[in-house]
Structure 1
Amino acid sequence: MATIIDVAKKAGVSKSTVSRVLTSNGYVSEVSRQKVLLAMEEIGYIPNLLARQLQSGVTKTIGFIAPSYMSALGKFLQVFMENAKNNGYYVNLYLTGGDKQKEIEALNQLKYKQVDGIFILTRTNDWETIKPYSQYGPLATWNRIEEPWIYSSYVDHYEGYLKALNYLYDRGYRKIGHVLGNMENLNTKARLRALTEFHELKQVPLNEEWLIEAAYNKNGGREVAKKWLESLDKPDVFAFYSDQSAAEFISEIELVGFKSPEDIGVLGFDNNEVSELMHISTVDYSLEKQASNSFAYLYNQLNEDQLPFEQLVFELMERKTLK
């Protein structure tokens, strides 16, 4: 069986360098790190601490990868962990900060058998980079993707957004602003199809100025508020891609005396704790059920017993930010 000394010789580095790569403790240049990882791959080295786990074949641990804190993370992670606990599993959380290399290091936990499966909240690397890791264990994600090698817990945002826009129309709103996430995201593209169809069918003008990409900027909602405050041609309602962004918008306009819904209608999307605390009208798209289904998929891939999946539905939560 290959040893850490064999890895060091193959990579042309010191034993201590290999140790730092394995433990992620101490500085290692990217060049040396890649040499060590390549050497481990070529000689089939598995760290001794992991070899003990291989005797049983399982770790009873699921890796949970996220780029950073976002509005949906808290509730999703809580439900995911509760399901894991109830079924005898642990969850290791890896926050990558949007760093592609850190995401790879987290995925390597599956490759080196430190976790049995991995859930990716939102990815940083492209799918072609992530796909090879599916050979080491089951993968699941919150991102929308339709591929056999990974499970996606997504819901059809086209259906949900079209339902939300028709709801706003029925409430009398005509000048609608759209605050969207990353334009490359498949969920955002689904919403774009919905809003295009809505504006054409209802013959409601679409003001391109108020078709805004806020992505996942921490203060995206505040930036939208500043733009709205400065504009002479204001929308009478905003449909936000997240409750967090909607809450930021409301907080900013209230600083200068404006209120929702008196001055501007606001519709969020998530139905998380923020919308509940601030009484924001929002769209519930079964976030908790998505988390449950994600764990169920990973569990079912790893065990003979099978957990049931829950049906995902959209529900409009009427609160106080719409007339």
Structure 2
Amino acid sequence: MGVTIADVASRAGVSKTTVSRVLNSKGEISEDTVSKVRKAISELGYVPSAGAVGLARGTTQMIGMLVPDLAWVWAGIVQAVVETLEAEGFGLRMLTVNGGEESLRRLGLQVAAKSFDGLLVIEPEGALAAITELHEAGLPVVLIDDRFQRPGFPYVATTNREGGEQAARHLLDLGRRRPLVVTGPDEYGCTQERLGGFVDVYAQAGIELEPRSIICGDFLFDSSRRGVAQALADGVEFDAVFGHNDPSAAGVIAALHEAGLKIPRDVAVVGFDDVEVASYTYPALTTVRQPMREMGEAAARLLLDHVRRSPEAAPSRIIPTSLVIRGSTLEPSSN
């Protein structure tokens, strides 16, 4: 049986009603009592349910940010969040969910102790239900998402389908009529959106992509390199490749170099995201820019609006993608 509010009360030497009042910030309670209750919560690992804690607006001037891990891919978003919050007099507390249930337990403790006034979340695999419960209990939450999750609370997202369309139109404008696609994981909504937009534009041009022209990938460099190498070995003919993110597209470029093909003369390559690696491939990668910094800033401002209970607070925001053209699709001018 899990730790109960009665256990917390017993450890702190107070009544269950007092514990509930501390959790809900209700009534006149001495700092000593509050300290005892919070210490007991921490020692016992008590995680309040949505019914046990009606979260009131905090006054910590801190915002929590929950990320899958501390990988560099989130750097643009996090930097924009930090800059936006600092300009508004708020600090940032970073949290990860790579510890599974233990991470969620720690998150519950942070919320119970009112360590922050609101929560920003990036791609909470396995945690969305718990975060939704916290939001329903009164915690301001904003999701920063590119995988087409649409929760019951505010989010900031981008236009994945339109990004796929932009990649397809660019390749068609260059006369590339035999594309290969290296997708992301099937279970991600963004994979279906990017693929759907790309395939539809080619269909409108009278070109149907064959099943073997679509390689199921996982957003990783090595698997994309292997997938393209296998397509070449199988005799699949293509004059362009659309990788569903930039590391995938970098793997595509590596495979093409290893096969002795020239980029973009023989095969044009387009990625998605416009992260740092896109500028370091050879040739530099044409890619659909996902507005990471803009998404981070927008999410921080949206969350602060909800923390402050601003009547102008928007429910959600969608920020469009844009195409960044580099040498992997257009050779330098000979002029």
- TM-score (norm: length of structure 1): 0.76
Q: Which of 22, 44, 53 is residue 42 of structure 2 equivalent to?
A: 22
Q: 2:306 aligns with which of 298, 301, 315?
A: 301
Aligned position for 2:100: 100
Deviating more after overlay: 233-242 vs 218-227: 218-227
RMSD: 3.7
Q: CA deviation at 1:156?
A: 2.5
Using a 3 Å threshold, how does the CA distance of structure 1 residues 314 and 296 change in structure 2: closer, same or farther?
Answer: same
Q: Hey, what does 2:119 align to over in structure 1?
A: 118
Label 1:229 to 1:61 Cα distance change in 2 as closer, same or farther (>3 A): farther
Is the Cα–Cα contact under 8 Å of residues 65 and 103 in structure 1 kept in the other structure?
no
Amino acid at match of 2:297: S
1:222-247 C-alpha deviation (Å, 9 max, x unpaired): 33343244331132211112112212
Distance 2:271 2:288 in 1: 6
Alignment of 1:41-56 (within 5 A): none
State the Cα distance separating 1:258 from its structure 2 match.
Answer: 4.0
Instruction: Read off the aligned partner of 2:248 and give its amino acid letter.
Output: S
Q: Which is worse superposed, 262-271 or 211-220?
A: 211-220
For structure 2, the residue ranges without an aligned partner over 5 or more in a row are 14-37, 331-335
Looking at structure 2, the residues matched to 43 and 297 of structure 1 have their Cα atoms a distance apart, in angstroms, of 26
Sort the Cα spacing of 1:79 and 1:221 in 2 relative to 1 into closer, same or farther, 3 A: farther
Higher relative contact order (CA 8 A, sep 6+): 2
Give ranges in structure 1 of 5+ residues lacking alignment.
Answer: 10-17, 24-32, 46-53
TM superposition shift of 1:311: 7.6
Matches of 1:272 and 1:283, distance apart in 2? 10
Going from structure 1 to structure 2, the CA distance change for 1:69 and 1:254 (only over 3 Å counts) comes to farther
Distance 1:258 1:138 in 2: 52
Alignment correspondent of 1:288: 293
SS at match of 1:268: strand
Partner residue of 1:29?
none
Which residue in the other structure is 2:46 paired with?
A: 37
SS in 1 for 2:280: helix
Identity %: 19
Deviation of residue 273 (structure 1)?
1.6
Deviation readout 1:67-102 (Å, 9 max, x if unpaired): 2355641211111111122222222222333x5314
How much has 1:300 moved relative to structure 2? 0.8
| 1:152-163 equivalent positions in 2, closer than 5 A | 152-163=155-166
> Which residue of the partner structure matches residue 30 of structure 2?
none
How do residues 179-258 of structure 1 correspond to structure 2 at under 5 angstroms? 179-217=182-220, 219-255=222-258, 257-258=260-261
CA distance in structure 2 between the aligned counterparts of 1:180 and 1:76, rounded to whole angstroms: 23
Q: Deviations over 1:187-225 (max 9, x none)?
A: 222223323422322121312123223234463333334
3-state SS of paired residue (2:158): coil
Deviates more, 1:296-305 or 1:234-243: 296-305
| C-alpha deviation, 1:173, in angstroms | 0.7
**C-alpha contact 1:107 1:118 (8 A) present in aligned 2:** no
The count of residues paired between Structure 1 and Structure 2 equals 294
SS of residue paired to 1:153: strand
Larger Rg: 2
